[in-house]
Amino acid sequence: MSKQGDRKIILGIAGLGTVGAGVVKIVERHVGLLADRAGCAIEIRAVSARDRSRDRGIDVSGYDWYDNPVDLASPESGVNVVVELIGGSDGPALALAREALGRGIGFVTANKALIATHGKELAALAEEKGAALKFEAAVAGGIPIIKALREGLAGNAIASVRGILNGTCNYILTRMEREGLAFDDVLKDAQQLGYAEADPTFDIDGIDTAHKTAILASLAFGTEPDIENLPTEGIRTIAPVDIEYAKELGYRIKLLGVAQHTDEGIETRVHPAMVPTRAAIANVMDATNAVVVEGDAVGQTVYEGAGAGEGPTASAVLADILDVARGVGGPSLGIPADRLKASAPVPVEKHRGTYYIRLRVGDRPGVMADITKILAEENVSIESMLQRGRADDGGVYIVLTTHETVEASVAATLDRFTQLDCVLETPTMLRIEA
């Protein structure tokens, strides 16, 4: 009998791409360290991917190969913890999750789409079967934010969670600001440098951030993960001129995922926001992620680090594997799945906050009067107003920030601005997050 007994964690790894290969490397590199921390040996028994002949920079010839990842969870495989690193909310990832958890086998995943979409079902299945369901790598890569919310801050009523959760977007916004470049130019460059996917839709349209926000909201507020009712805006419409005005006004533009307790209920939303430059989250640059949590007892805590990439993501997967090995349990979404409240997010029209509005208008008498009349009639009170230069075609920019108001009023104001003859293009609106 070995020093640590006969108990062993026998891994089956589905997906050998960026993260899967990273996990294999760590398990092979840190055999002794992981065994000491787990209290038992951890070994890889079986793997699955699409293309057996692909060079992955790792030698998988010593592991059993499965063409169908779902077979990793079969009794014949001998696997007792399945690690899903394929991706996608449905398809093989979901089939594998159902098979593994249904058989009472531990299931570790980095798949935010899967947890955001089927989190409640999978958590319920895990609890029914007494199996572990872990997903630390699904949100903010190497930052242990799931553990922080589920364990470290478990004694707090959470007021808000705000995060820069997508490295690609933060990288693009950072370069737009530093180099004064347009969105499309930075995106092209980011694709060439490998910071953005060939199809960047999930990242730049905010969908990836929405998946992560749905998971954070569930953990923070004990609600079902709900991706369907999460208002989501990306960064395609951010113009260099808004980045410049943000700077002039003392802000930076960041794509944020927000889950917040308000008088109306729980707000969840994803959108670019103006963040005061003095705020911790405003100073998170390049591809770095950060999450700021407000708890009633602890106050503000800030978490920052690499949100993606082979090493950071594999690091989070290993933390989950060790938790399974150590028997660190508890409900995967923080409270038992049958006690998760139905998600009933506050409609974004009810959001109360301050706003940045930019208009391009024809420079003629009476314009200001028209604009201020609409603002007054819609009960939107102005905090500051700037008029800047002559644009190439004779228009000028009017930039204003508001005092706290309700979003429905801002939306009505923007509608009415758009109808004015003097307004030359669709107005830009950004929420300001204190």
Residues 296, 298: Cα–Cα separation, whole Å: 6
Is residue 23 involved in binding ligand NAP (CB under 6 A)?
A: no
Phi first, then psi, for residue 62 (nearest 5°) are -85, 0
Tokens 């801050």 — which residue?
153
CB 246 within 8 A of CB 253: yes
Q: Does 106 bind ligand NAP (CB under 6 A)?
A: no
Residue 308 interacting with ligand NAP (CB under 6 A): yes
Q: Interface with ligand NAP by CB under 6 A: which range of 50-58, 243-251, 380-388, 421-429?
A: 50-58
Token readout for 118 is 């089927």
Give the nearer residue to ligand NAP in terms of CB position, either 75 or 194: 194
Which position among 212, 341, 350, 373 bears the catalytic label? 212
Nearest one of 34, 11, 6, 5 to 80, comparing CA atoms: 11
Q: Is 200 in the site for ligand NAP (CB under 6 A)?
A: no
The yes or no reply on residue 232 touching ligand NAP (CB under 6 A) is: no
CB hemisphere CA count around 170 (13 angstroms): 25
Distance CA 321, CA 327 (A): 10
Q: Which is nearer to ligand NAP, 110 or 123 (CB)?
A: 110
Nearer to ligand NAP, 316 or 375 (CB): 316
Q: Which of 13, 38, 82, 86 binds ligand NAP (CB under 6 A)?
A: 86
Q: Which is nearer to ligand NAP, 16 or 124 (CB)?
A: 16
Q: Does 110 bind ligand NAP (CB under 6 A)?
A: yes
* Total of chain residues touching ligand NAP, rule CB under 6 A: 25
Of 83-91, 258-266, 268-276, 369-377, the segment contacting ligand NAP by CB under 6 A is 83-91
Q: Supply the minimum distance, in Å, between the C-beta of residue 196 and ligand NAP.
A: 12
Residue 47 pairs in a beta bridge with: 13, 65
For ligand NAP, the closer of residues 54 and 364 by Cβ is 54
Cβ neighbours of residue 235 closer than 8 Å, sequence gap 6 or more: 169, 172, 173, 183, 204, 206, 255, 272
Residue 291 interacts with ligand NAP (CB under 6 A): yes or no: no
Examine residue 141 and tell whether it contacts ligand NAP (CB under 6 A): yes
Contact 301, 295 (CB under 8 A): yes
Nearest-angstrom CA–CA distance, 274 and 432: 5
CB-neighbour burial class of residue 6 (10 A; exposed 0-12, middle 13-18, buried 19+): exposed
120 among known catalytic residues: no
The verdict on 73 binding ligand NAP (CB under 6 A) reads no
Q: Does 20 bind ligand NAP (CB under 6 A)?
A: yes
Instruction: Pick the binder of ligand NAP from 3, 32, 51, 194 (CB under 6 A).
Output: 51
In 3D space, the residue among 2, 34, 33, 1 whose CA is nearest the CA of residue 11 turns out to be 34
State yes or no: residue 17 binds ligand NAP (CB under 6 A): yes
Contact in structure between 39 and 324 (CB atoms under 8 Å): no
Q: How far is the CB of 333 from ligand NAP (least distance, A)?
A: 18
Name the residues that contact ligand NAP, by CB under 6 A.
14-20, 48-51, 54, 69, 85-87, 92, 110-112, 137, 141, 308-309, 313
Residues annotated as part of the active site: 212
